[in-house]
A and B are shown apart, each in its own frame.
Chain A
Amino acid sequence: MTEAKPATKQRGASQAAVAWRRFRKNKSALAGATVVGFFIFVAVYGVFFAPLPSRSFWCLYNSCADLPPFQNWAHPLGTEPSGIDVFSEILHGALGDLYVGVVATAISVLIGLLVGALAGYRSGVSGALLLGITQIFFVIPVLILILLFARIGQLLVAHGLGLTLIVVILGIFGWPTIAFVTRGEILRIKELEFVQAARSLGASNTRILFRHILLNVLSPIIVLASLLVAGNILTEVVISFLGFGDPSTSTWGLLLQEGFSYVRTSWWVSVFPGIAVVVAVLGFNLLGDGLSDALNPRIRE
Chain B
Amino acid sequence: MGGLVNYVIRRLLFAIPVFLAVSVITYLITNAAGDPVQIVKFGIRNISPAQLEYLRLYFHEDLPVYIRYFYWLNDFLHGNLGQSLYTGSVVALIVPWIGTTLELQIPALALALAIGVPVGIYSAKHQYTKGDYAITTTAIFGISMPTFWIGIMGIIVFSYYLHWLPAFGAYSSYPPYWWGSPFMDALAHIILPLAVLTLVSIATITRLVRANMLEVLRQDYVLAARASGVSEFKVTFKHALKNAITPVVTIVGLSFGVLLGGAPALETTFSWPGLGKAFVFAATRLDLPTVLGITMIITIMVLIANIVTDLAYAVLDPRVRIT
Contacts and interface: CB of A to CB of B under 8 A. Distances in A.
B264 A242 contact: yes
Contact of A263 (B14, B137, B143, B156): B156
Interface string A112-134: 00000000000000000000000
Contact of B254 (A138, A256, A285): A138
Contact of A241 (B156, B265, B286): B265
Contacts of A156: 32-33
A151 B284 CA distance: 8
Contacts of A141: 257, 260-261, 295, 298-299, 302
Contacts of B107: none
Contacts of B58: none
Contacts of A282: 140-141, 144
Interface string B267-296: 011000000000110011010000100110
Interface residues of B, number: 50
A138 B22 CA distance: 12
Main DSSP-derived SS at the B contact region: helix
A234 interface: yes
Contacts of A4: none
A274 B18 contact: no
A277 B146 contact: yes
Contacts, number: 129
Interface in A242-281: 242-244, 256, 259-260, 263-264, 267, 270-271, 274, 277-278, 281
Interface string B7-35: 00000001100100110011001101110
B280 A147 contact: yes
Interface of A: 28, 135-136, 138-145, 147-149, 151-152, 155-156, 230, 234, 237-238, 241-244, 256, 259-260, 263-264, 267, 270-271, 274, 277-278, 281-282, 285-286, 289, 298
Given A144-B260, A238-B148, A270-B149, 6 more contacts: A141-B295, A147-B283, A148-B283, A151-B284, A274-B152, A277-B145
Interface of B: 14-15, 18, 21-22, 25-26, 29-30, 32-34, 137, 140-141, 143-146, 148-149, 152-153, 155-156, 160, 218, 254, 257-258, 260-262, 264-265, 268-269, 279-280, 283-284, 286, 291, 294-295, 298-299, 302-303, 306
